[in-house]
Amino acid sequence: MPFMILSVLIQLLLVIHIFKTGRNTTWIWVVIAIPMVGSLAYVVVEIIPPFMNSYKGKEAQKSMVKILNPEKEFNDAMQNYEIADTVKHTTDLANACMHKGMYKEAQKLYTQALQGIYKHDIHLLLGLAQAEFELEHYAEVKAALNLLMEKNPNYENVETHLLYARALEGLEEYTSALEVYEALETYSPGPEALFHYALLHRQLGNEEEASNILQKILRVAKISGKHHNKLFKEWITKAEQALK
């Protein structure tokens, strides 16, 4: 009996879907006249292909591949690199190494790719700076980002400026770091930069300023929608914990 109820419910939902999406009404008779088989045919023919070609469908495919074969990205990148160490293949392998936490290998690959017409490439310089940061080579991070900004003066990116601020902090250039964090406060879409800004103030003994910034993160979260809070959940949670 429960199986029959489920079958009827599925048929009803699919009939509603057919009407709402303007599908050929012949599908209604197929779904109703051939229980389960007709429903399965409709899903396979009409729902799955468009979904798989959509952005969400492609993201779902990528997620499934990562679950079933977590090493695929790295293995494919390594294979392509071994066939031909082009700039693209080198960059893909460097990115894959970053995802695996192989920062030293990534640093070498980004450096290798920074040649010829690509020696001032934004993405390669940013990738190199990220690898150097994970290796705690803060002077190298600063140098890579200075070169990036010098050769690409119109490039504006929150991630790049945040990385620069954190490198300055690592170099104990606190005054400069605070200036970059302060600038980030005016245009950063999320609370990550603010959180690091607050922690630096706390490190320097400016507890009141740190507390004000952390409270600002929570105020914005309170008046923002679910999307904001879901997207920045990590930093909102960290701000709550830091205030405790």
Question: For the chain, what is the domain count?
Answer: 3
The predicted pLDDT at position 174 comes to 97
Tokens representing residue 147 in the block: 């070169």
User: In terms of Cα–Cα distance, which of 203, 196, 194, 191 is closest to 234?
Assistant: 191
What's residue 48's pLDDT?
63
Specify the 3-state DSSP secondary structure of 224: coil
Output the pLDDT for position 50: 60
Predicted pLDDT at 18:
76
Per-residue pLDDT reduced to its tens digit, 66-103: 555 668 888 999 999 999 999 999 999 999 999 999 99
Question: Which of 135, 155, 175 is a domain's end point?
Answer: 155
Q: Is the pTM of this model over 0.75?
A: no
Q: Say yes or no: 100 and 42 in one domain.
A: no
> What's the CATH number where 224 sits?
1.25.40.10
Residues 95 and 134 in one domain: yes
DSSP letters for 180-206: HHHHHHHH-SSSHHHHHHHHHHHHTT-
Q: What angle do CA 149, 158, 116 make, to 5 degrees?
A: 35
Q: Are residues 97 and 35 in the same domain?
A: no
**What are the tens digits of pLDDT across the range 188-226?**
989 999 999 999 999 999 999 999 999 999 999 999 988
- Cα 120 to Cα 14, 98, 196: the distances in Å are 54, 20, 28
How far, in Å, CA of 154 to CA of 147, rounded?
Answer: 13
Closest to 141 in 3D by CA, of 112, 166, 106: 166
Buried residues in 74-88 as b, exposed as e (16+ CB within 10 A): beebbebbeeeeebe
Residue listed under structure tokens 């005054």: 175
Percent of the chain with pLDDT over 90: 63
Which residues have CB under 8 Å from 167's CB, separation 6+?
129, 133, 138, 141, 142, 145
pLDDT-derived band at 33, boundaries 50, 70, 90: confident
Give the span between the Cα atoms of 20 and 7, in whole angstroms: 20
Mean pLDDT value of segment 138-153:
96
Looking at residue 150, what is its pLDDT? Answer: 94
- Of 103, 128, 155, the one marking the end of a domain is 155
Range of the domain at 148: 66-155
Q: Which two tokens stand for residue 175?
A: 């005054």
- H/E element holding 180? helix 174-187
